Amino acid sequence: MKHFLIINGPNLNRLGSREPDIYGHHTLEDLDQQLKQYGQNQQFRVTSRQSNHEGDMIDWVQQAESDYDGIVMNAGAFTHYSYAIRDAIAGTDIPVIEVHISNIHKRESFRHHSVIAPVVTGQIVGFGFQGYILALDYLRRMS
């Protein structure tokens, strides 16, 4: 059975209370439940992790090859400046899909550039939680 890793970065633990006009009222726990249920329905496994710490995210990417068939990552603010996460993704042989709940290209200018975009398999932005489902669908079909 295929197994996918969801990595959520800084401040995503505050979903539901952080800027609900941008990110909605659902929590990270709601997202995790939705993705696990979707995986069960589609016959694959989902493991979700969240950290506000760059090193945790790097460790998870580096360790993922042995346990997972692909990664869905919302790196949060690290998207825009973490060359360390970018290098970890570049060094893995499994597909990584970059996901953002909001459309980062319609927001502040500093959010328009992703340093990880050149090394991920693809990028999905602006579809809310549905973006994670789209990413999982791609990984299920392609891995």
pLDDT per position as a tens digit, 108-138: 776 668 999 999 999 999 999 999 999 999 9
Q: Which of 81, 85, 76, 75 is nearest to 55 (CA)?
A: 85
Task: Say what the pLDDT of residue 1 is.
Answer: 95
Amino acid in the structure at residue 33: Q
Beta strands in 51-116 (DSSP E): 70-74, 96-100
Q: How confident is the model at residue 104 (pLDDT cuts 50, 70, 90)?
A: confident
Exposure string (b/e) for 121-141, b if CB count within 10 Å is 16 or more?
A: bebbbebebebbbebbebbbe
Question: Would you kindly state where each structural domain of the chain is located, as residue ranges?
Answer: 3-142
- At the fourth CATH level, the homologous superfamily of domain 3-142 is Dehydroquinase, class II (3.40.50.9100)
- By annotation, the residues acting in catalysis are 23, 100
pLDDT band (50, 70, 90) for residue 61: very high
Higher pLDDT, 112 or 57: 57
pLDDT at residue 69 above 90?
yes
d(CA 4, CA 96): 10
pLDDT at 103: 83
> What pLDDT does 22 receive?
72
Residue 24's pLDDT is 74
Q: Which residue do the tokens 């249920």 mark?
A: 37
The pLDDT of residue 46: 98
Using CA atoms, how far apart are residues 141 and 120, in angstroms rounded to an integer?
17
**% of residues, the chain, pLDDT over 70:** 97
Tokens describing residue 43: 């016959």
Supply the pLDDT for residue 141: 95
pLDDT at 67: 97
